[in-house]
Structure 1
Amino acid sequence: MKQAGSIVVAAVLAVLAGGVAQAQEKENPKTNPLSVREIDDNDIMMKKTLWRRVDLNEKQNQAMFSKNNQITKYLIDAVKAGVLVAYPNDSVSTPMEIGKFAEKLAVPAQADVLTAEEKAAGFGDEAQKANDGWGDAPKDKKAAAKPVDDGWGTPSKAATAKPVDDGWGTPAPKKKATAKNTKGKKGAKPAPVVPEPPKVDSSAMAKAAPSPFTGNERLADEYSVLEIKEDWVFDRKRSRLYYDIQTVGIVIPADKNPSGLEQPVAYFKYKDLDKLFRSDPKKFIWYNSQNQAKHLNLADAFDLRLFWGRIYKVSNPKDRDLIGQYGSEREGLLKSYQIEQKLMEEEHGLWEY
């Protein structure tokens, strides 16, 4: 009996020890803080980081770029209202200053629009503006001014101020200002009145602080490119593949930028965007052209993958995009389609075992 009792006690202790060990393993799960639906790192079987370029003018993406409902307009307005934080790059570690964000939105000055060839030809040169157009040098501005002609060929004499006539042919005497009510003291001057300084209202000054947004900004239709960074993740616990979006960026396309290059404006945590979109489902809509009574929320549209974006970069040791890796835009585009097909095959292959 004693041996049987000791065996039971040992078994109970072993079970309790195993339970404590499992509890300790689950106390501090490691997850990605940028994920909307967090996955424990221990459950990730496969993972690749992808960067996609989403052209909002393409037919499949126009539903999130409808008139007055552009997704880029919603993001910019949210930053101006202070309900969304912008970041200068897709690492989203350091927030962007609001003044720098306003500079990104402003329309470039005319001087910045001129190309190098136009500047070499003389456009925009202030020295060229002084030329009379016939090759003659501009005249000296410090040249002495000629006296005014009186109409008979001789310069007229400078007119001198005449004294005011008193009406009898003789100049009127000048009046001397006398101090009023000096109380018998000759030459006494009244004490100057010191004005009381106005009271400063600090709260009014805070409200009247100048806004960095001047109003001279690009139209919402010009921000027609999104950059999406996402993780291609297979969760072995749920036995499911996820496209885990990490960040979303706004980019000015090359044809809307005077430099001829795409210009990033700002990046955002997709976790923040998901919260923003779901805060007002009727405002942040994915436009359903087939049935206007069934517009979707933008957060649901992202979850359902109702957009298309070309892969232009895959995580690699040198952190280079496909064009930089393969040397030309054509090869980079072909490789993009090959990677897309390969990911589909890998997903299919996971279900064959």
Structure 2
Amino acid sequence: MNKFFSLAALTAGLMLSGAASAQEQATTASSNGSYRPIPNSDIMFRKTILRAVDLREKQNKPMFSEGKEISRVIIDAVKRGELMAYRNDSLTRTFTPAEVTGNMSYAEASAGLSDEERAAGFSDESADDWGAPKPKKGSKPVAKKPAPPPSYEYRYKDLYQMELKEDMIFDKKRSRMYHDIKTITLVVPSTLASNTSGIEKPIATFKYSDLVKVFRNNPDKAIWFNSQNDAQHKNLADAFELWLFNSYIVKVSNPNDARLDEIYGGQQQGILASQQAAADLIEYEYNLWSF
């Protein structure tokens, strides 16, 4: 009898231990943004890759169609509280919807006075007082706080730059390579005239698993536009699943966490390194099947 109870207790303990381990693994996987996480025990090879996606490219225009831009779908979901926005791809700190709106806004530059107006004796201070009554004699002038320039949100069509973080994984159980997307980041392009900084500015980062839910819950808006057949538009979630977009590699995991253009000393060298990195990954997968 004692042996029976001991065996039952051991079995129950193993089941509880296995359940706890599975729960821990699932929690860890869901926290990194993966939609279909692959168990660590099945991973033979993994490389973390950062890709840039230019939505103006011909292959990417179906997810950037008029009125149904992917940037519109994402930002609108944030504004109505359906989607959580994160500060970076570590996914540890979040933005409020108001902060996301601020990140995708720009201040209008002050026009100021022309050279002719300055030569005529006008100053920026006097320009602010045009039309104002003159102060009385003996009264002290009141210092005026300059009004901040008005700010405007970028149009959804202006937000044509995205960054996609993925793990390229070879699953030894299924004997195939997977693109396990983790996060997608919306970026203010550096080429916009209103972006006076001249550098790309991240708006917010989003878990891919959260984005899939948003795309599925809004099938009338989250559309990959099929220009050949209006009856065959696809959901954006399916477009990412089928890899119906073009991208180029800007970073492959490395000890310095540096981008390719930083490693190779320039934008042109970075483009060449991106093409080489893509070829190397394809060759690695081919060699797995060859030997």
TM-score, normalised by the number of residues in structure 1 = 0.65
Question: How far apart are residue 102 of structure 1 and its match?
Answer: 1.9
Name 2:56's counterpart in structure 1: 57
In 2, Cα distance between equivalents of 1:144 and 1:132: 28
Query: Is the counterpart of residue 237 in structure 1 residue 157 in structure 2?
Result: no
In 2, Cα distance between equivalents of 1:301 and 1:45: 27
SS class of match (1:332): helix
Task: Indicate which of 247, 260, 265 corresponds to 2:183.
Answer: 247
Q: List gaps (5 residues or longer) in structure 2.
A: 1-6, 127-133, 139-149
Query: Is the counterpart of residue 224 in structure 1 residue 169 in structure 2?
Result: no
In 2, Cα distance between equivalents of 1:26 and 1:143: 83
Name 1:80's counterpart in structure 2: 79
Question: How far apart are residue 92 of structure 1 and its match?
Answer: 1.6
Identity over aligned pairs, percent: 41
In 1, Cα distance between equivalents of 2:254 and 2:112: 44
Question: Which protein shows a greater Rg?
Answer: 1
Deviations 1:49-80 (A, max 9, x none): 00000000000000000000100001010011
In 1, Cα distance between equivalents of 2:288 and 2:243: 21
In 1, Cα distance between equivalents of 2:89 and 2:116: 45
Deviations 1:304-326 (A, max 9, x none): 00011110011111111001101
Contact kept in structure 1, 2:190 and 2:197, CA below 8 Å: yes
In 1, Cα distance between equivalents of 2:17 and 2:101: 49
Question: Given the superposition, is the C-alpha separation of residues 84 and 323 from structure 1 closer, same or farther in structure 2, using an over 3 Å criterion?
Answer: same
Deviations 1:181-201 (A, max 9, x none): xxxxxxxxxxxxxxxxxxxxx
Name 2:29's counterpart in structure 1: 32
Runs of 4+ aligned structure 1 residues displaced above 6 Å come to 20-23, 141-145
Query: Is the counterpart of residue 316 in structure 1 residue 260 in structure 2?
Result: no
Question: How far apart are residue 143 of structure 1 and its match?
Answer: 9.9
TM-score, normalised by the number of residues in structure 2 = 0.79
SS class of match (1:278): helix
Name 1:193's counterpart in structure 2: none
Question: How far apart are residue 124 of structure 1 and its match?
Answer: 4.0
Task: Indicate which of 328, 336, 352 corresponds to 2:266.
Answer: 328
Task: Indicate which of 221, 227, 235 corresponds to 1:283.
Answer: 221
In 2, Cα distance between equivalents of 1:108 and 1:328: 30
In 1, Cα distance between equivalents of 2:277 and 2:268: 14
In 1, Cα distance between equivalents of 2:65 and 2:235: 13
Question: How far apart are residue 282 of structure 1 and its match?
Answer: 3.3
In 1, Cα distance between equivalents of 2:56 and 2:117: 45
Question: Given the superposition, is the C-alpha separation of residues 124 and 303 from structure 1 closer, same or farther in structure 2, using an over 3 Å criterion?
Answer: same
Deviations 1:61-110 (A, max 9, x none): 00000000100001010011010111121112111123321211223231
Contact kept in structure 1, 2:34 and 2:207, CA below 8 Å: no
Question: How far apart are residue 32 of structure 1 and its match?
Answer: 2.4
SS class of match (2:65): coil
Q: List gaps (5 residues or longer) in structure 1.
A: 1-13, 112-122, 146-213
Deviations 1:148-190 (A, max 9, x none): xxxxxxxxxxxxxxxxxxxxxxxxxxxxxxxxxxxxxxxxxxx
Q: Which has the higher helix share?
A: 2
Query: Is the counterpart of residue 297 in structure 1 residue 235 in structure 2?
Result: yes
Task: Indicate which of 86, 95, 120 corresponds to 1:133.
Answer: 120
In 2, Cα distance between equivalents of 1:106 and 1:332: 30
Question: Given the superposition, is the C-alpha separation of residues 289 and 135 from structure 1 closer, same or farther in structure 2, using an over 3 Å criterion?
Answer: closer
After TM superposition, the structure 1 = structure 2 runs for residues 138-153 of structure 1, keeping only pairs within 5 Å, are: none
In 2, Cα distance between equivalents of 1:49 and 1:108: 36
In 2, Cα distance between equivalents of 1:330 and 1:324: 11
Question: How far apart are residue 129 of structure 1 and its match?
Answer: 10
